[in-house]
Each structure stands twice: as C-alpha cells, then as structure tokens.
Amino acid sequence: SINKAIGRAAICMWEILLDPTPGNNLFLPDTPHVNMVKKMKAALANICKPDIPVGDIRSITALHNRSFIIELETESLASWLRETSSKEALIEHFGNTVSFRTRTYPIIAEYLPIQLQIQDDAFLRSVEQDNNLPTNSIVSTCWIKPPQCRSAT
C-alpha cells in the first residue's frame, strides 16, 4: 500500500549504507551482532562533536555483499553523518576500510525521443536543474530498449 511505501521511504532517511573498501572487511563474517553494535556505537562516540544531533544506533543489518545498513534513531543524526566532515571522520575512524554508499533510485521516463543524448552530462545536469534535484544526483541513465534494437516504424 502507499502508506507502507511512505513508511519505508521515511526509514531510509534514517539509514546510512557502509561498504567495505576492496580487500577489507569492517566485520568478520562470524562477528556477533552485539559486537557490531558496540563497534559502531564506539565509532559514533569517537567522532562526536558538541553539535551532534541527539540519537543512537537503532539496528545494524549485514548484507550478503559485506555491506551494512546502519539504522539510526533520528533522521537528523543520519543527515549529520552524511555531511562531508562527519563522513570523513567515520571513515578515518575505521582506517579507511569503509566507504559511504549513496542510495540510488531507479526512475523510468517514458516517451523520450531517441535523438536525446541521455548519457551526456549536460543533459543530466539539465534534467536535475529542471526538476529541482541536487547537482550530480542522477548517477546514470540508459535506454530500456536500445535505439539500435527498435523497429523503424
């Protein structure tokens, strides 16, 4: 239902996604969940500043690709962690063994003329500007059906 979708989108705003850098692991595969939480809470306490928003870690989900979803208690804490200085402090705390992954969303735009150069950076920035999106928020584009595979009619 629409309410579930809205609720899930709200939860996503409280989350950060951490990826291990190539050749590194933030946690070993058999690390108990309680130890993951302790390590993340210690990292958060280590990078705390007086202006940090109130909140704590609500949950940690380990993904099959060795990434982690950290759900925080407040959206403001998640936003603070996504800021460049906070992000860099957390990455430095873990010895550059992790990186933040930016959440991406697939969007389908129907009925675009095939003459459009949808991979062109100027086109992407124009779409962002026309739709009041942050610069560089469109990561990639592709055709559902490549133009060379379409019929002439």
pLDDT tens string, the chain, 153 residues long: the values are 566 666 666 667 788 999 999 988 888 888 898 999 899 888 888 887 777 788 888 889 888 888 899 999 888 888 888 888 888 998 998 888 899 887 776 777 788 888 888 888 998 888 888 888 777 878 888 888 888 888 876
Q: What is the pTM of this model?
A: 0.66
* Cα dihedral 84, 60, 101, 43 sign: positive
State the CB neighbour count (10 A cutoff) for residue 11.
Answer: 13
Element of type H or E holding 17: strand 15-20
pLDDT at 149: 86
List the CATH code of the domain at 2-101.
Answer: 3.30.70.330
All CATH 3.30.70.330 domain ranges of the chain, comma separated, are: 2-101
Helix, strand or coil, per DSSP, at residue 11 = helix
